[in-house]
Every structure is written in structure tokens, then in C-alpha cells.
Amino acid sequence: MVTPIRKEDMEQYNQNNVNDSISIKSVTIKEVYSLLSKEVQMPTLQSIPFDIYKSVAATLENLKEQEYEGLNADLRDRIVNMMSQCVVLLLDIRQRKILEQSAAVDPQKAETSSLRLAIVPAVDYSKLTNEEKYILDAQREFNLRKESVIAATLQGRPKVLESISSRILSKQTVVRFIKSMEQFIGVNMTKYGPYHEEDVTVLPFENARSLMENGIAVELEVNVGS
């Protein structure tokens, strides 16, 4: 069965995909709270401004850059804190609704559907911002990978699991060091380093993960391999 898409939802979908070159407008705490309040009160996913997260980011950036003293500085900090909490709650609630409504698409598979995020109703998808689609895409990938491991294990396909293992071992990540690091042996038995603060390099994912968890390096938004 094909879910009908309302005209206003299609307009929202098109709006969500407009060129990012459009100037970002600031937003008030009242506007953000209003969106959060409506999302909390309504059981279904609500339409929100496609650039709401960019607007909040720009507003917070401007507030933090302003020089205030005394009571004005305290007021600024309270506004920043309240707006931050509101937008985090807004995103969490909308993501939970997507999970619930995805499961409702096929009640007979509600348990697995809620984990897989396999089907998102078109009407709901049209209401997502690009940032929310970004999160949804990662969640879908996470669950598809989980299912592939479970399926290969239960179906007795060790070669598939070997392939999966080799993929993670061969995956590489670009990192920037924020602390110095002595030379070490990677999971691929290759020597790496030594590295100094601000050095950028490509490392096996397993080694990069350990360094990031220990606050020695941070990942850059460029991945090498898959």
C-alpha cells in the first residue's frame, strides 16, 4: 500500500532540499520552545522549519561571541543553556516518533521494525530536516549491519563473518592528534608515529578508536576505506 503524500508535505520536502546557500536566520528561545511544546503535545511528527538546527547553531554562536558582564552575562548563559536543552529534547522526541511510526507501518513486525528503521512513512520523511535524515541514515546502516551479522551467524555462514571482520580490520580513519604520541604497532602490524600535537594522519580504525577514546586524537570528517 502506498502512503499518500499531502501537498503541504511535498512542499515541506522540497523546502528541506533547497540550496544551503540561503542565509541562516537567527531564532529566539520562545520560537524553539514553541516547536518543542507542539512536538510534545502532538502524537505525530510535526513539520518544523527546515533550517531550525542551523538557526539555533547560528544564534548560539552569536550569543557566545558577545561580550557581556555581570547580570547580562548570566542572562546570556541562561538563554544559551535553555535553548540548548530545548533543541536536544526536540531532536530526541522527533527521533523517538520516527522509531514508533516506523514500527507501526507493519504491526506484525513491530519489534524488529522498530530496530531496523526499515520503513519510514513518506509523509513523515518529508517532515525531516536534512540533519535528521543524516541521523536516520546512520541508524539504518547500524541496524542493517547488526542484522547481517546475526543472519550470517544463525545461517552458519562463517565466510561471510570472515569478510565482515576483514572489512573492519582494513578500515582506516583520518585523525588529528591533540596530544603527542610515541611510535606504536597498528593492528596491521605496521609501525606508526611518533606523532606530535596537530599532526594529521591515516590510521587503522581500531587504533584510531582507541586513541580517540583516550583523548589523544580526534576524527576528521574524511574516511578512507569502508
Domain ranges of the chain: 7-153, 171-224
What are the grid coordinates assigned to 133, written together? 535524515
* pLDDT over 50 at 194, yes or no: yes
Contact criterion met (CB below 8 Å) for 99 and 136: no
Q: Which residue has the higher pLDDT, 161 or 108?
A: 161
CA distance linking residue 130 with residue 27, whole number of Å? 18
Average pLDDT for residues 154-158, to the nearest whole number? 94
Which residue has better confidence, 105 or 89? 89
Q: What is the pLDDT of residue 113?
A: 43
Q: What is the pLDDT of residue 25?
A: 82
Distance between CA atoms of residues 189 and 187, nearest Å: 5
Mean pLDDT of 196-218: 94
* Nearest CA-CA partner of 220 in 196, 202, 195, 206: 202
pTM for the model: 0.69
CATH class of 171-224: alpha beta
Quote the pLDDT of residue 132: 93
Average pLDDT taken over every residue of the chain:
83
Which pLDDT score is estimated for 222?
64
pLDDT tens, residue by residue, 21-70: 456 788 999 999 999 999 999 999 999 999 999 999 999 999 888 887 77
- CATH architecture designation of domain 7-153: Up-down Bundle (1.20)
The C-alpha atoms of residue 4 and residue 104 are separated, in whole angstroms, by: 16
**C-alpha–C-alpha distance, residues 15 and 128, integer Å:** 11
Contact 46, 38 (CB under 8 A): yes
- Output 85 or 12, whichever has higher pLDDT: 85
